[in-house]
Structure 1
Amino acid sequence: MPDTATDVRAPQATYRGRADGAARAFLGIPYAAPPLGPLRFRPPQPAPRGGVVDATRFGHAPVQTPPPETSFSILREEQSYGEDCLNLNLWTPAADTARRPVVVHLFGGGFGYGSANVGHLDGAAFAAANDVVLIRPNVRTGALGFLHLADHFPELDQTNRSMLDLAAALRWTRENVAAFGGDPDNITLAGLSSGAFTAAALFGTRDGPALFDKCWLMSGYATRILPPEQARRITEDFLGRAGIAPGDMTALEALSVEDILRLQAEVVAVNLAERSSPGGRTLGIVLDGTSLDRHPELAMRQGATRHIPLVIGRTRHEAQDVPLAAE
């Protein structure tokens, strides 16, 4: 009998989704508490449990200044942006007991922008055509996700908040995806560009490799990890421009979203090559010793990926405005 129920009862909560072509969509599911106020620069906290969650529409994408459109830009739809962005979108052919493979895909965007709500991929069509459960989480980007504040605010000792957001989304997936027809023991983590760098960084964390079963990294590897001193220079520039003294949490929390976006644009290099070069002015994964225990390349050499099938690839025309006909 076809699955026609509107609600799916999962361990975390009951989720109310909607039909989407040949699949069912559960959109804007909160996998962590809103990172607002005193939680703004802190690791993700647990989402409330129980109740009925309306999952019929997209939640906020992370706050950002979208880059200029080019021929390779993602397909943009009208969407809202906000700090309350720790949500995920899920598409499934049916919320049954089929135990389908699960794909968790993290968007790219140079660590400063991107969204799980838009893109070239039709989530419903992909899930239906491949008989898989597709999950796309939104995570914090830019300074909210990566600014290294530990040296100036000791209570903010975990820098890689965006990476921790991804880990929280994967924990939600392990616990709840069986209710949506997915197999919690067959999760493939896929990342694009900065999403791939973030996914690869999980290999250097204590429990990251236990959160998924397979991994696909596209145009991002375990190599681009910032040393604390490089990240510290970016933070000092950011705080100096903001007029915030070290330890002044009140001033830090009082920054408007507009000020944060302006300041991060001022301290990060505009040129992609400069951002990507050693010592470049960029935001990204920091080897902070707390959220990231060891360099992921070292973790791989020590066997962290031994049990995880891993695919690594790159695009032919990375970040180049090349017409598709040129292929």
Structure 2
Amino acid sequence: MQKKKINVVWFKRDLRLKDHQPLKRAAESVLPTLLLYLFEPSLVSDPHYGDRHWRFVWESLEEMKDDLRDQGCDILIAYEEAETLFQKINSLYDVQTVYSHEETGINLTYQRDLRMADLFNEWGIHWDESPTNAVQRGLMNRDGWRKAWKSIMDRPLENPDLERLNSLALNDKLTHDINTEVPDRFKTRNENFQPGGETKARELLDSFVLERCADYNKSISAPGPARNGCSRLSPHITWGNLSIRQIVQYADRHYDEAPSKRGIRSFRSRLGWHCHFVQKFESEPRIEFENMNRGYDDIRSEWNDEKL
């Protein structure tokens, strides 16, 4: 029996439904599309991550699920390693294209992506990866990078037409052999932490640009005042509830309404620096394991648990 042809949108650090090129491209295809997010056990157990991260991710996914349901769509949320999960999907369907954003992550995600690229190639699956924000894969130097960043920020948003999306239904055939049990501790709200999701991100952006940016420049280096005077968008940017381009264009649209033009200019500049340093990590992944400046290799070599 011939397997049904489908596409897959693999969400990673891009938990939103606007300005999302992979989702837009999938919506423009006539093939049914499986929307997918993976809690990968190897990442969950990695010391770089903690429950606060996965709770934020779960809250973001919950909002996405509600918004997708309004469009007659759904998203598969699984607790599986990528290789295992895609092998199961490929055994059931004839996967044509996997759409995702490029991920600049730790060595663990980089090695996973290398393995997935080999597997997709072996299975005859096209992996269509879109750049994340303004980070350029394979860039050897940053000459002209700032000009390219501005050009990307000025482009129209890549908003998908979800009414056109041919979403694959999550039936028993698909899910019976897939672990969809997400740990309860990720689902339990902790009021000490910012909640995830695009709605909360937009509320913060709105209040910062139209009110709180007045205190930005005098608050940015002071942990206490920064709780109010800074944007508080960092986790939302990290997990992609909003793209950098969405934030930049919102700030530009409301520049004349802002109580501090200087605050908006400083904030906008730091959005560029955000992408710049992700680009540095993309180009020099060694800095996960080594000092960026080798001059620091021989100092502070002692280890003091109490001070740490």
TM-score (norm 1): 0.29
Task: Answer 1 or 2: which has greater strand percent.
Answer: 1
Task: Answer 1 or 2: which has greater helix percent.
Answer: 2
- Which of structures 1 and 2 has the larger relative contact order (alpha carbons within 8 angstroms, sep 6+)? 2
Larger Rg: 2
